[in-house]
Structure formats: structure tokens, C-alpha cells
Structure 1
Amino acid sequence: MIKQYIQQAIYQLRAQPVLSAISVLGTALAICLIMVIVMMQQVKTEPYAPESNRDRMLYVKWMTVYEKNGSIENSSNSPLSLKTARTCGRSLTTAEAVTVYSMYSSMEAAIPKGAPFSVDVKQTDEQFWKVFNLSFVDGKPFDEASSEAGLKVAVISESVAKALYGTDKVVGHQLELDYSSYKIVGVVKDVSTLASEAYAQVWIPYFSTDIQNMTWNADLMGLMRVAILANSKDDFSKIRAEFDAKVKEYGDGLKEAAISFRGQPDNQEVFSYRKWANMEPDMKSVHNRRMLVFVLLLLIPAINLSSMTQSRLNQRITEIGIRRSFGCSRGDIMWQVFCENLVLTFVAGFIGVLLCFGFVLAFGSSLLATSTLAMNNSAPVVNLFMLMHFSTFVYAFLFCLLMNLLSSGFPAWRASRVAITNALNNH
């Protein structure tokens, strides 16, 4: 029976090429637009290298400092100092790994006696390479001894290595960063700025600079963040409980100041929406707005497509009457219309997903460059590995089913309710 419905659907597509082409194109564009929105969200939250563990990640991005016994509304808000980040975050024992790293900054890079150029630098520790899985093409990451000793060693990206020496085999060579000499110990594949927490062009130990002294508010605030890799997302509650306990202990030791992290550590989705240091993201509103957009993008084209479905059924009203006169039930008629239209919808959905992939790959650099802290030296790089997830195709399948139900449901119901005599007389 399903095979017969598919054959009938193909026949209808050929019999009414103009109407079919309009229906397929309208459905494809609707699915394409919806999937573009889905993919824009997925690049923020779905795992892909070098942030392959996003589903097991927690982040601490900002902190709040205010007077003890005062109001949190009268507060200072900024990233963490290195001392705060290491005391409250790096010391966690319930996590698989915890890294402390700086917000990116620009430095002048050059080989000895070479012309300098600007690079994006991230200052971090040896745990960074356990939390984020960057791909090394030469050498290896700096280790704990080098990190804690503040040795002037650096890991650089392929593009920087080639800009400096014309090759990516540069381990052991020297790199001048703001006129301070670093030894290159590793080279990694370039990181897209969309992987914002892993991204940099040069990575160095934070103890190799004076960033630990770039603090304010009694050494509580600075330029650092914390990324926490859990053994499993089921451990999030334990990690948050341990973090809260360390924050309380740390805060109890302060004489005049109180500290708050406003609900952090955040999972990947909440982290991507936490834009302001003094305000927690309203995730319920975010989800409601997203759902409203999806409903509108499904409903509006479905209403237009339903009229085309109705037009095709009007030309087949005699066929429906004959089937009814031979005992076909109204449910069978509705099921046939639904299945036939489903074939058309899936063809259109497949085209729509291809259009979506092509559009995002072609225009992703501008479409996805929404960060107010866009990196200086690299436009966002988008590739298929970032976009192709199992959930992508699940969403596309569900949207096709919903589009088919919305566009064919009412016409199918009306066709099944036509009286047999009227259908045979084509009324």
C-alpha cells in the first residue's frame, strides 16, 4: 500500500508540474529557513572539535563583588582574577579536568629581527589541552611543570607558523610576543572563532606574563575564566555543589567584600546566552521566543501550501468518490492524502536541507559572526563537521512531518467528508 501511495505521489508530481514545482520550492524554502535558524543555534551549543565535549562542559564567565551586608544591585561585575579562578575553580575535585584561561588579547608576534604582526593570544594552563581537544600537527602542549613555572613556551596555530617561518614544522624555534621571546613547543590546526573558548592563534602559560597582577577589587576580579569538564553531565549537580562550597569558603575569608556568581557554573547553552555580567539569562524566554519563531515559520507557509494541496485534490474528487463507493473509508482517504503529500514534503525537505547547508557554508562567516567580542584576526570558519549532527537530521525530519501535517491535514479532512454523490458528479 505504501508503495502504491509513493507511485501515486510521483504520478501527481508529473501530472501537475507547475503546481508541484511551486509546492516543492515553497516547502524547501520554508524548511531551509527553519534549519538555518536551527544551525545558528547548534554552532553555539552542539559539540564539534576542538570543543568536542560541550555536552559535558560547565563555565564560569563572570563574577559579582559587592559590600558585605550590602545590596547585590550595587555591585561590580567582571571576569575573575587568576587567584579567584584557581581558588574556586581550578581546585575542584569532582570534575575530570578544570582549566583557567584568559579572555583573548592581541599581541605583536614576530620571529627574531622579523616584522611584527598582530595575533590573538590566550593565556592558560596545562589543563586546557585536556578540556579542549586541539589537533597537533607538530610538537605537543606545554606541561604542568612549564605552566606552573611560568616558562616562556608557546603553542601556535598553523597559519601563524606559516606566516612566521613558511612551514608548520617550527617546534624549537623562537617567537617574539610583545618583544618577549617564547620557545615554540607545539603547532595546532587553526581553530574557528565559533569555538570561542578554545580559539586563539597563540597559547601561552598565564604565569609567563604579569596577568596575575592585572586585578582590581582587592585582587578578586581580573581577566580570567574557568572551563570545567565533567566526567558525565550527570555530575553537574555535584560539581555545582562543590563550587558553591568553595565560593562560600572563599567569601567567608573576605573582610569587606561579598561575592556571587549568579547561578554559575553554566552549561553550554546557558553560557552562550550569558552576555551580561550583572544579569542571568532568562532561558525560559529564550526557549519561548525560539518556539514562536518555529511555529510562525511552519504555520505561514503551511497555510499557503494547504491551498495548493486543496487544488490538487479538487481535480481528483471523482477518483475519491469512486474509491468511497467501493467501500474505502474516510480514514483511508485521509491516510492516502497524507502519505502522498508526505512524499512531496520529504523531497522538498531534502532539497531544503541541502539549500541550508549550502547557504550556511557560503555565508556562515557573516551570518554567524554575532559576537560583540569578535576576534581580530580570523573570520568565523564554518565547515560540515560543525553543522552535521544527528540532531540536525532529527530536526529536519520532524519539521517535514509537521509541515506535511499542517499543509495536508485540513484538505485531506475536507476531501474525506465530500458526499459520494457529489464527488462522483465532481461537485
Structure 2
Amino acid sequence: MLKNYFQIACKVYMRRKLFTAINLLCIVLTMVVLLVVTALLQATFFPTGVEGKSERFLQIGTVTQVSKNSTRRSPLGYKVIDQYLRKMKTVEKVAAVTGPESVSVYQKDSVNEIMMRRADAEYWQILDFKLLSGRVPTEEDVKLGRFVAVINESTAKKIFGSTTVVSQKINAGGQQFEIIGVVEDVLHMNAFADIWVPVTTLPSSQYREQYSGNFTVMLMGKSAADLPLIRDELLQVVKQVNADEPTHWDHTYMWADSKLDFFARGILSRDEVPDSGAAQLLAGVVFFMLLFMLLPALNLVNLNSGRIMERAAEIGVRKAFGASNRELVKQFVMENILLCLFGALLGLMFTKLTLIWLSNADLIPYLKVDLSFAVFAYGFVIAIVFGVLSGVIPAWKMSRLDPVLALKGAA
């Protein structure tokens, strides 16, 4: 039966090549946009590579403190991380890192602006950077406050013209560091920077006594099963932080979030409630993707209606020989799904080319995104949904034609 549907569909598509080309163009353009967005969202919310352990760690980006007259929302201070979060029993590793900060690099007669982060040794143990040469900072480097640095590949080429820069000196932000390693370029939120140095190289030690500052923390468990336990223990830790804070805020809020929860909480400003709003954010994304699909689907409905109208005589003959409405609807919908699946294959090919272009065009620094099996599967699901949405209405309409009128060619 499927073979017959396929043979009929091919003959129908070749009969009106312009209609087929227009249908494919609508499908391919829509597929490329949806799949590129899906690939970018997957790379953001469910990263691999440098953040490949993301299923095992949670992150805290802000601390929100509330009193009757004011609210303060800021990144974490190092004191909260060092004196409270590092003592959590459910956590295997605690990593502290500052947010990216623009610094000037003076090298020979040129000045470059690059992004610097200061991190502890655990940061390099949680994230899986691809080391191209040299090494990364150790616990001893951090403890002794050694002025060592790791830079990424692009920055090495930009400043030194080569990636063979281990043992070279670099003046960044008014401080001189010895380069001990070069890592591959990465874009992920916790890893994005051009240069990394130990947190203990900060010009002043005052950061050690701050409850709010410029730090993000990653809390890694032994397995993904530990994450609920980490969240529960954090609730008790926050109470202790609030009691010890000398400003005496009425409430202090910190939430350990997954990547998706972290983004949702920031976008929806849900600082004072446990629910990050991730479900609502995903629902919104799905809604807008379906809405985006609706316009080309309606266009395809009109095109399919015109194409099927030309087959009135065929419908009349089939109905005269006993074909049921259900069989006719199934045939027309299957034809449309086959066309959409062919469009999906073309869409996947053009999506791959688009992602390669985005990765190489440097529109987004260090962006590296590719088609994954999940995105491939989403493409075929979207194609089937597209085929059903744009095929059912015209198919059902034409299947209900009176056979006598259909044989006369009247719709």
C-alpha cells in the first residue's frame, strides 16, 4: 500500500512541478529556521564538550536579599562560597569563578581588549576544557596566588600570532602573568572567556569578606541523583547565611539551578520562588515555534487545495469504485507527508550548511554548534506534523465530493 502511495505521489508531484517547487520552498525555509533555533537552544540548555558534566552540577549565579525597604540582587560574594557552600556535605566539588570582565592587554606596541575570568582550581576539574598545550592551574597555584594564566587558541593567535605561547608573559589588566596553557575556544556560559587566571590574583584580598560580589558557583555531585539533595541542603545553608549577614536582611534567596532553570529564572525574574519557570519558558518556546509553523502551513493548505482540486475526476473514479472517504484522506495525507519528509531531508542539509556558516562566520564569538541526533529527530517530527497540518483539511474536503460532480470535474 505504501509503495502505491509513493508511486502515485511521485506522478502527482511531477505533473505540476511549480506547485511542488513552491511547496518544497515553504517547507525547507521553515525547517531550516526551526532546526537552527532548535540546535542553538540544545547547545545552550543541554551542552556537551566543555560542560559535558552539566547533568551532575548545579549553578548559582545570584543572591537576592530582601528587607522591608529595599531589595539587593547581585552575583555571589566569595565569602558565601568559601565559608558556607564549600562545607556542604552533599557536594563533591565546589567551583568559584568570576564573570567575564573586559581587560586591556598590552603587548609590544598594540593594545587589545579581551575577556578575563578568575577561577579556583575546582573550576578546571568540573569543566572539561580541551587543552591544546601546557597545563591548567592547580590547587597549589591558586593557594599560593601564582600569577599564571590560561588563554584560548584565538587569543593566542591574535596577540602572539601563534599558539606556541607557553612560558610567554602577558600583561592583562595591569598585571603580568605567565602563560601556562592554551585551551580550545568555547562559548558556553560557564566557560566563556579569553583568558583565565587564579582567583587569588585579585589586587585586593577584600573579596574574601564579601557576601555579594562578582562570582558564580558550580556545585557538582557524585551523580545526577545527588542534585535534589544539594538543593535541599542549600535551603538550610541560605538560612545560616541570612543569619550571619551583618546587614540583617529579612530574607536571603539562592537557588541551585540546572542550565535550563538558570536561564528561565533570569529571563522570568523568579528570584524569590523555588520554581524557576522553566516549564513556562519551554511552553512559550514551543508555542512560538508552532505559531511560526502556522503561516507556512496555511499557505500549504491553499496550495494543496488547488492541487487536489485538479484531481476531482480521479477522486470521482475512485469513489465510484467504492473508495471510502477515509481511504482517500489517508492517501492525500500520506502524499503530503512524503513531500514534507523530502523537504525535511533538504531542510536538514541546508540546516547543516547554515550551522557550518554560523560557526565559521564569527558572528557569535567561539560559536560551535552542529546537528545532533536529537535535532535530526526533531526535524522529522516537525516534517510529519507539517504534513498532517497542511494535508488533512484539503484532503477531507475533497474526499467528501459527490462522485457524479467529481466525474464532471465540478468541485
Q: How many residues are treated as equivalent by the alignment? A: 406
Q: What corresponds to 1:117 in structure 2?
A: 112
Q: What corresponds to 1:413 in structure 2?
A: 396
Q: What corresponds to 2:146 in structure 1?
A: 151
Q: What corresponds to 2:88 in structure 1?
A: 92
Structure 2 residue identity aligned to 1:3: K
Q: What corresponds to 1:264 in structure 2?
A: 255
Q: Do the aligned residues in 2 keep the contact of 1:78 with 1:277 (CA within 8 Å)? A: no
Structure 1 residue identity aligned to 2:16: Q
Deviation at 1:121, TM superposition (A): 1.0
Q: Do the aligned residues in 2 keep the contact of 1:83 with 1:212 (CA within 8 Å)? A: no
Deviations 1:345-396 (A, max 9, x none): 1122222333344445545799x98xxxxxxxxx42333xx23222212222
Q: Do the aligned residues in 2 keep the contact of 1:365 with 1:380 (CA within 8 Å)? A: no
Answering whether residue 209 of structure 2 is matched by residue 209 of structure 1, we say: no
Deviations 1:187-225 (A, max 9, x none): 111223xx122011111110122364248xx72111111
Q: What corresponds to 1:106 in structure 2?
A: 102
Q: Which moved more, 1:16-25 or 1:321-330?
A: 321-330
Q: What corresponds to 1:376 in structure 2?
A: none
- Give runs of aligned pairs for residues 129-144 of structure 1, distance below 5 A: 129-144=124-139
Q: Secondary structure of the equivalent of 1:183? A: strand
Deviation at 1:10, TM superposition (A): 1.6
Deviation at 1:232, TM superposition (A): 3.6
Answering whether residue 364 of structure 2 is matched by residue 382 of structure 1, we say: no
Structure 2 residue identity aligned to 1:199: F
Q: What corresponds to 2:26 in structure 1?
A: 26
Which TM-score applies when normalising by structure 2?
A: 0.88
Q: Do the aligned residues in 2 keep the contact of 1:42 with 1:387 (CA within 8 Å)? A: no
Deviations 1:103-145 (A, max 9, x none): 111223346x665433211100111122211111111111112
> Aligned partners of 2:269, 2:304: CA distance in 1, in Å?
52
Q: Secondary structure of the equivalent of 1:408? A: helix
Deviation at 1:315, TM superposition (A): 1.8
Of the candidates 220, 233, 241, which is equivalent to residue 242 of structure 1?
A: 233
Q: Do the aligned residues in 2 keep the contact of 1:65 with 1:257 (CA within 8 Å)? A: no
Structure 2 residue identity aligned to 1:381: Y
Q: Which moved more, 1:318-327 or 1:119-128?
A: 318-327
Q: Do the aligned residues in 2 keep the contact of 1:80 with 1:225 (CA within 8 Å)? A: yes
> Aligned partners of 1:74, 1:53: CA distance in 2, in Å?
37
Unaligned runs of 5+ in 1: 370-378
Deviation at 1:96, TM superposition (A): 4.2
Deviation at 1:272, TM superposition (A): 2.0
> Aligned partners of 1:219, 1:179: CA distance in 2, in Å?
23
Q: What corresponds to 2:71 in structure 1?
A: 75
Q: Do the aligned residues in 1 keep the contact of 2:238 with 2:253 (CA within 8 Å)? A: no
> Aligned partners of 2:393, 2:110: CA distance in 1, in Å?
70
Provide the alpha-carbon RMSD of the alignment: 2.8
Deviations 1:296-352 (A, max 9, x none): 222222122112112222222222232333333322222111111111111222223
Q: Secondary structure of the equivalent of 1:127? A: helix
Structure 1 residue identity aligned to 2:202: T
Structure 2 residue identity aligned to 1:401: I
Change (3 A) 1:262 1:7: farther
Answering whether residue 344 of structure 2 is matched by residue 353 of structure 1, we say: no
Answering whether residue 7 of structure 2 is matched by residue 7 of structure 1, we say: yes
Deviations 1:225-259 (A, max 9, x none): 11223444333211111222222223333454237
Structure 1 residue identity aligned to 2:201: S
Unaligned runs of 5+ in 2: none
- Sequence identity (%): 24
Q: Do the aligned residues in 2 keep the contact of 1:64 with 1:75 (CA within 8 Å)? A: yes
